[in-house]
Chain A
Amino acid sequence: MKIPRLLQAVLVLLGVYFGFILLFDVILKQVIPSSLLNMYMFFVVAGVFMVFTFTEEGAKELLAPIKALVEDPNNKTNRNIVFIILPLLGGAYTYNKLLPSFDAPVELRTIHPAPPASLKAYGKRYDILNLENPYRKFEKEDPERFKELIAEGGAVYIRNCQYCHGDKLDGKGPYAQGLNPMPMNFQDVGTIAQLQESYLFWRIASGGPGLPKEASPWISSMPVWQDFLSEEEIWKVILYLYDYTGHRPRTWGEE
């Protein structure tokens, strides 16, 4: 049986529409904003219309069922139904569009902004590009010492960080749910595994307020740790973050 052209066109449009939703919302897990979806669909509808009305017969065939509905006197009942439903749909759509929305505004922020070239802390200036963890070398040179340093970092962590980032470093600390944005999950491959130790030093020393504007410093609850911890303690806690999660810090060599 041949599928009527009008139905074909509708099926193509529906296919594309749900294809988009499947691709973004389900596969990429990134809900597509409705404004973007509307824009895509506008072009798709225009394209489909052009393809289906490319030849005159094609256009005729496409519109035939509509013509028949409107013009054929035998279609009276169907016509009456369509004539009631269409205006109502239009009305309902208009009504919903004009209702004020009470959903909270969406706040987009950059999670990993570019770090500044240099950081001022502890009364000196750090050149972030060339900054290295002074304890990292002990990993090879003195494994015993290295283990002790990690344990000291662990103590810093459990006294200061676990409330938010969680004692499993999974971002689910006792108070995480009361904070927005949520504390970072260090187990996730998208956080410290992607970053250099110098980046972490900058983030930990300067906290939420140290972020640039695109990262919304005003909502980050990450404390400014240079107020509470020594420089050495920050480097040790960084060792602990990598040791507990099993991630390796990024280094220039890999890039």
Chain B
Amino acid sequence: MAGYKNIVNGDIRLMLGVLLLAVATHSPAKPGDAEQGEQIYSRRCVLCHSDEGDGLGPAAERLNPPPRDFTAGIYKIKTTGFDDMAPADEDIFRMIRDGMPGTAMPEWADVLSEQEIWDLVAYVKTFAGYEGEEPGEQLDYGEQIPSSPESIEKGKALYHDQDRCSECHGKDGKGNAVKRLKDDNGDRTWPRNQTKPWTFRASNDPKDIFTRITTGIPGTQMTSFAKPSSEKRLSIEERWHIANYVQSLAKIEQVVRAENTVVKAEKIDDDLPDSPDDPRWQATQPTTFFLVPQIIAKQRFFTPSNDTITVRALYSDTELAILLEWDDRTKSIPGNKLAEKISDADIGEDAVAIQLPIEIHDSMEKPYFGMGDANNPVNIWHWHSGTTETTEGISLLNSKGFKEIEKRDAATIGIHAKGLYTEGTWRVVMKRSLTTAESDKDLQFVSGKFIPIAFAAWDGSNSEKGSRHTMTTWYWLLLKPATGAKPIIAALLVIVVIFALLFFWARSRQPHRG
């Protein structure tokens, strides 16, 4: 589905994207048959977009963004001018074919033929009475300015000039809101995190970004920057520079790679870093996992804002330190006026948690990934960001499923945490000694063993509290054992032995000389 397209190779996908775009803009609209389209629609699309096309299918209130209301005739992704409400047929075609990443709208190219998609385009247009209309004029792209360090530099200046884009997308483009944004229907919208281009509804190809800046994103508060009436208006040339800058923000190293399921902790001889911005973290290997909303038990949660978490780890002879890093658009401090303005008055603290089994079985058996089970309890280290009255803190929970939770004092066990929020990113270090006094209640870390580990995060400004949060299922933590000298010594020995054997064999068989 479109939501979490896994970009394994950013460059290849980009090239493919450009190619598809080229194909899309060059293949002229084929006449679709609206009646055929209705048939397909009633089988494939009604559950979300509804019979009437108003987007009020049964799942609407559980989806953010909700399915598009076609009767309003507003399309987010379009290549017609900002003064033309109707999109081009090719725009609708493309969104149906490719889907909209980061939303429930899937790609349909895998199950529908091109003709079927054109039929759908014809049918979908009828909801807003667009069927008879002349196709709108394509917006003016001028001459594309290829990306270059100079162009990116210019784009960066324009991006921040008068807070043009940074007002919503933040200084580093992570969408860290300084404003509470809503779409035309009053539903909460989050400015896009531009460092994660795989969440773009269209793509981060400069031509696509140029188009979004030019038309705005209709139905949301992102308006056109080409409109003559806009105070922060941009020329064609300036829009290309910004597009190149936005494209350069992509952090491909934060892409989730399905094969990376192990957080590998390197051993260091020093004391472990206490702080998230200790430079030694830079040398460690990050592993990134998807965060999925808790839609499994108890009070379910369907509209997450956090989507991935990146984990690093280090250990010494006595301690283990884990650095958790995740993009969160809001620093949620209950009691803080600005934080409450961006969100709701009843905001909660941001939080993050690590879950570990108390015992590691030699068989495959683990505790149930959702807070353990009656036979297999888990340790949960739960850090919370603090309010205007209290400081940040960490608590320790021993849980046998969410119905049986024992709260313990983290400080006496020796668990410490330190969090830091900078420009849309939380980084939290959690530390504990490798062993504790209560070995029947705490996991004892040993190197060389694969330790199940899972994570959870809460965005307090997105009404995430208690069982409403995002999480991962079980992955692995490995304290990398020192390789030691054994392999190299053994290898040398084997070399010497084989050589000696060959040598003596050959000598014994040679006719003696002289």
Mark A residues whose CB is within 8 Å of B. 67, 70-71, 73, 79, 82-83, 86-88, 90-100, 102-105, 107-109, 154-155, 157-159, 162-164, 166-168, 170, 172-180, 208-209, 213, 216-219, 221, 223-224, 227-228
Contact = CB atoms under 8 A, between A and B. Distances in A.
B290 A87 contact: no
Contacts of B511: 73
Contact of A92 (B2, B110, B491, B510): B491
Interface in B203-221: none
Given A102-B264, A167-B48, A175 B502 contact: no
B366 A219 contact: yes
Interface in B154-199: none
B393 interface: no
Contact of A94 (B104, B111, B450, B487): B487
22 contacts: A71-B509, A87-B499, A87-B502, A94-B491, A95-B491, A98-B487, A102-B262, A105-B450, A155-B47, A157-B47, A158-B47, A163-B295, A167-B106, A172-B106, A174-B2, A175-B290, A175-B293, A208-B368, A218-B367, A218-B373, A221-B369, A223-B296
A88 B261 contact: no
A90 B494 contact: yes
A79 B506 contact: yes
B495 A71 contact: no
Interface in B25-78: 44, 47-48, 57-59, 62
B256 A180 contact: no
Contact of B503 (A83, A98, A107, A227): A83
Nearest to A174: B3
Interface string B411-451: 00000000000000000000000000000000000001010
Given A73-B511, A99-B487, A175-B293, A166 B106 contact: yes
The prevalent SS among residues of B at the interface is: loop
B449 to A, nearest CB: 10
Given A71-B510, A162-B104, 13 more contacts: A94-B494, A98-B486, A98-B490, A100-B483, A108-B364, A109-B364, A163-B293, A164-B295, A174-B1, A175-B292, A175-B295, A177-B4, A219-B369
Contact of B448 (A100, A170, A174): A100
Contact of B6 (A86, A93, A158, A177): A177
A93 B490 CA distance: 10
Contact of B495 (A88, A103, A108): A88
The prevalent SS among residues of A at the interface is: helix
Contact of A159 (B62, B111, B291, B506): B62
Interface residues of B, number: 69
A224 B297 contact: yes
A172 B499 contact: no
The winner among B364, B365, B510 for most chain A CB atoms within 10 A is B364
B368 A218 contact: yes
B364 A216 contact: yes
Interface stretch (B114-122, B269-277, B382-390, B469-477): B469-477
A227 B298 CA distance: 8
B283 interface: no
Contact of B491 (A79, A91, A218, A227): A91
Contacts of B261: 104, 180
B376 interface: yes
Interface string B482-514: 010011101111111011001101100111000
B486 to A, nearest CB: 6
Contacts of A86: 498-499, 502
Contacts of B3: 173-175
B473 A221 contact: yes
B233 interface: no
A175 B4 contact: yes
A208 B154 CA distance: 54
B123 interface: no
B58 A102 contact: no
Nearest to B57: A158
B402 to A, nearest CB: 12
B127 interface: no
A104 B476 contact: yes
Given A158-B57, A221-B296, A70 B505 contact: yes
Nearest to B486: A98
A221 B258 CA distance: 17
B133 to A, nearest CB: 30
Nearest to A105: B450
Contact of A178 (B44, B106, B289, B502): B289
A98 B47 CA distance: 56
A162 B59 contact: yes
Given A158-B57, A166-B106, A178-B292, A87 B496 contact: yes
Given A87-B495, A177-B258, A179-B292, A213 B62 contact: no
Contacts of B6: 177
A168 B111 contact: yes
A176 B137 CA distance: 39
Contact of B473 (A162, A167, A180, A228): A180
A159 B62 CA distance: 7
